[in-house]
Amino acid sequence: MTDLHDLTAVQLLERYGSGDLSPVEATRAALDRIEQIQPRVNAYSRVDGEEALRQAEESAERWRRGEPAGLLDGVPVSVKDILLMRGGPTLRGSRTVRTDGPWDEDAPAVARMRDHGAVFLGKTTTPEFGWKGVTDNPVDGVTGNPYDPGRTAGGSSGGSASAVAMGAGPLSLGTDGGGSVRIPASFCGIFALKPTYGRVPIYPASAFGTLAHVGPMTRDAADSALLMDVITGPDWRDWSQLGPLGGSFREAISAGGGSIDGLRVAYSPTMGGAAAVDPEVAAAVRRAVDLLDGLGAVVEEIDPGIEDPVEAFHTLWFSGAARVVQPLGQEQWELLDPGLREICAQGAAYSALDYLAAVDVRMALGHAMGRFHSAYDLLVTPTLPITAFEAGVEVPEGSGHTRWTGWTPFTYPFNMTQQPAASVPCGMSSSGLPIGVQLVGARHADAVVLRVAHALYGAGVAEAVPAPVG
């Protein structure tokens, strides 16, 4: 049943409905794949096969009765170990988190997936408290790239990206505070969406504040549209959530036959020189842009005209990290990732005025991008200027960067502006590593981003060599 690993969630549900496949078969196949890939990439921090099979059997019975519980009934899913999932600890990759319970609460998006009959395989790896753009932590070790385990999967949702890329469950929930679903999606050759802030409810609130989003990590855009229709449901625990949507993301990606004819697309190869882009990355992204042009979009090469907000982002991000560890005593402090200790110390040194000055930069950036999107429906950039580098380090050797933000200049600005942004696989390097193109929409234009991504998948830009398993 190795072909089951290649099926998307949409395809699984079609087979469940026709009776050609059982959720139990799909779940066993996913669990077998986890066992197969875990020594290679270390994508999962915790797996509960017995509980997953119990849920799958209950789903199979519902399908036999013709009464599926919801949109995801019987689909194997995973959850990044930042989000609460009842029945086991959420350690967040840290030795400072107590494992004793009760662990009896789901995060909002997890609760919605459970309501819709999803089968939970387990939790995926994250850097400690999700603090950086690669995935390694003091509890679980290093997570490798599906195409070369000696290279990073990216982060902070690296475990989810590796799992999805290798067929260990078609759907995963990740979090993104500076690129954390898009970075690993680009490195691992999958699709990921950072929705508009507030579109997917969050609880508990992130210490990183309104930089942090919850989003889908999937095999393609159609699966993400399906998952978005599930996880965008209201939850009273998040006071900052947006109001209800008037429609379905699944319908939106197919509206008008899925046409993007006439869509106004701005293509920025380097965001005004924010980074030197690897020539192979630049060429792959250019091909994706040419394809959008061929699909009827009106493409103009233009930069958004914004300055790199990295210092303001650092103030907000490092302050959030300092807040995460503030309750820890000296003994627990020594257990933290050394890099995390460094940024926490820096964050603790900022004043309230420093923080508010960073908020001013953020508001100006949001204003600038709002004005930009009055002329353009979509901004297209590389997701990252590079392909995956050595695993177990925060920055590429010899790059001159000191923090992960040095090589992610295209992702974190759009956490500051709260815009929807997705990474779509658009090619492979000569060394066999995936490349991603980033699609950025105006705030609340999540459906536009998904529709364009879906069109790219339909046109074949996202076809990639399957990740090796053995």
Say what the pLDDT of residue 2 is.
45
Say what the pLDDT of residue 463 is.
64
Look up the domain containing 232 and give its range.
2-459
Q: What is the rounded CA–CA span in Å between residue 72 and residue 442?
A: 28
Is 467 within the bounds of a domain?
Answer: no
Residue in 73, 86, 88 with CA at minimum distance from that of residue 27 = 73
Q: Is the separation of the CB atoms in 463 and 220 below 8 Å?
A: no
Tell the residue number behind the tokens 């953020």, with chain if given: 362
Amino acid letter for position 227: L
Structure tokens at 401: 């960067």
Is 465 within the bounds of a domain?
Answer: no
* CATH number, domain containing residue 441: 3.90.1300.10
Is 464 within the bounds of a domain?
Answer: no
Q: Is the separation of the CB atoms in 228 and 464 below 8 Å?
A: no
120 in helix, strand or coil? strand
Is 468 within the bounds of a domain?
Answer: no
pLDDT, one tens digit for every residue, the chain (470 residues) = 448 999 999 999 999 999 999 999 999 999 999 999 999 999 999 999 999 999 999 999 999 999 999 999 999 999 999 999 999 999 999 999 999 989 999 999 999 999 999 999 999 999 999 999 999 999 999 999 999 999 999 999 999 999 999 999 999 999 999 999 999 999 999 999 999 999 999 999 999 999 999 999 999 999 999 999 999 989 999 999 999 888 999 999 998 889 999 999 999 999 999 889 999 999 999 999 999 999 999 999 999 999 999 999 999 999 999 999 999 999 999 999 999 999 999 999 999 999 999 999 999 999 999 999 999 999 999 999 999 999 999 999 999 999 999 999 999 999 999 999 999 999 999 999 999 999 999 999 999 999 999 999 999 986 667 788 87
Instruction: Label residue 118 exposed, middle or buried (CB < 10 Å: 0-12, 13-18, 19+).
Output: buried
Tell the residue number behind the tokens 């950039």, with chain if given: 381
Q: Is the separation of the CB atoms in 336 and 92 below 8 Å?
A: no
141: left (phi over 0), alpha (psi -120 to 50) or beta: left
- β-sheet bridge partners, residue 434: 428
Residues known to be catalytic: 80, 156, 180
Task: Determine phi and psi for 154, rounding to 5 degrees.
Answer: 85, -175
Alpha helices (H) along 139-216: 158-165, 182-188
Q: Is the separation of the CB atoms in 128 and 138 below 8 Å?
A: yes
Say what the pLDDT of residue 252 is.
96
Is 466 within the bounds of a domain?
Answer: no
Structure tokens at 413: 């600005």
Q: Is the separation of the CB atoms in 77 and 174 below 8 Å?
A: no
Q: Which residues, 6+ apart, have CB-to-CB distance to 365 below 8 Å?
A: 306, 309, 413, 416, 417
Is 252 within the bounds of a domain?
Answer: yes
C-alpha atoms less than 13 angstroms from C-alpha of 174 in its C-beta half-sphere = 43
Structure tokens at 153: 């999967």
Is 90 within the bounds of a domain?
Answer: yes
Q: What string of DSSP letters covers 296-363?
A: T-EEEE--------HHHHHHHHHHHHHHHHTT--HHHHTTS-HHHHHHHHHHHT--HHHHHHHHHHHH
Q: Is the separation of the CB atoms in 230 and 113 below 8 Å?
A: yes
Domain count within the chain: 1
H or E segment at 214? strand 213-218
Q: Is the separation of the CB atoms in 460 and 389 below 8 Å?
A: no
Is 347 within the bounds of a domain?
Answer: yes
Tell how strand 76-80 and strand 171-176 pair up.
parallel
Q: What is the rounded CA–CA span in Å between residue 395 and residue 210?
A: 25
